[in-house]
Homo-oligomer: A and B are copies of this chain.
């Protein structure tokens, strides 16, 4: 890479001092620059293809104009990967709008929290968005205490670090209320994950609220636990099929798990939705292409990214912020039985 021009080169070409170049290019409000001088400077900068050296600027200004996205890869990594593109696009769009850059940092489970500390103490970024935080992370709490701008994607119980998440309770409730409205009363649930995960607890809570509001107290045998993947969904559904008399509908709090549950139904020779209706959660791309297409709760990945970006920028500008729970939308397809799914073809 050849020599790249500095502000001194621009100054010389325009016949002014380097200070003037800086004042013009950052159009400083209180500076006295004649229109003619301004024009000459801009022309010189354009001609040389000058852009200020990022590191020098960061050093003198004391800020990096950068937000780091820490992407923890835990047991739920593959699941969360499905939302990564949308989240990134939403986050990046609000950052760029404000002139900020995005540093992406995946964190493997074996990696120490030291790398996050290094990112902060080494002033690689002005703020962090942290996705999939570990509950026992002292570094995070310490940084937050010291006022470093942090925003979580997903919730961390027992802290007041601001977070952005989808409203899991309301989303699950939406799904179950839809089934109730269709006339179902014997509705089971397969959670998306073990109850150590906040989202699993919340989605189960939404199920309970909807059922109780309908005057139904679901016995514990109606409740089974998934674990992110389809294998867990298959097992859980097999357990639910033991319930007598049979359940007429099951809310599966994750599309991936729902695919496994659907497989178990197929193995048992049961039809969806005629014998058992199904509703999922997440609205992954594949939900539209299962057989039958899966009714599910849409999670707005891009909106989550935008929200998380807005919050971290506000924190960087020193404002205090409050957490946000974004609303979900129920996407009605065929698996719940509300829509006809023509089945004249044998799908094998």
Residue numbers in B under 8 Å from A32 (CB-CB)? none
Residue numbers in B under 8 Å from A259 (CB-CB)? 289
Give the shortest distance, in Å, between A296 (CB) and chain B (any CB).
14
Q: Find out whether the CB atom of B52 lies under 8 angstroms from the CB atom of A266.
A: no
Interface range, A side: 35 or more
Q: Find out whether the CB atom of A291 lies under 8 angstroms from the CB atom of B347.
A: yes
Which of B117, B148, B346 is the one whose CB lies under 8 Å from A346?
B346
Which of B1, B54, B123, B149 is the one whose CB lies under 8 Å from A124?
B54
Count of chain copies: 2
Which residues between 73 and 120 of chain A lie within 8 Å of chain B, taking CB atoms?
A: 73, 81-82, 84-86, 88-89, 92-93, 101-106, 117-118
How far, in angstroms, from A157 to B7 measured CA to CA in the complex? 37
Which of B56, B92, B269, B292 is the one whose CB lies under 8 Å from A345?
B269
B-contact bits for A135-157, CB 8 A (1 contact / 0 none): 00000000000111100000000
Please list the residues of chain A having a beta carbon within 8 angstroms of any beta carbon in chain B. 1-2, 4, 49-56, 58-59, 64, 69, 73, 81-82, 84-86, 88-89, 92-93, 101-106, 117-118, 121-124, 146-149, 230, 259, 266-267, 269-272, 274, 284-286, 289-292, 341, 343-348
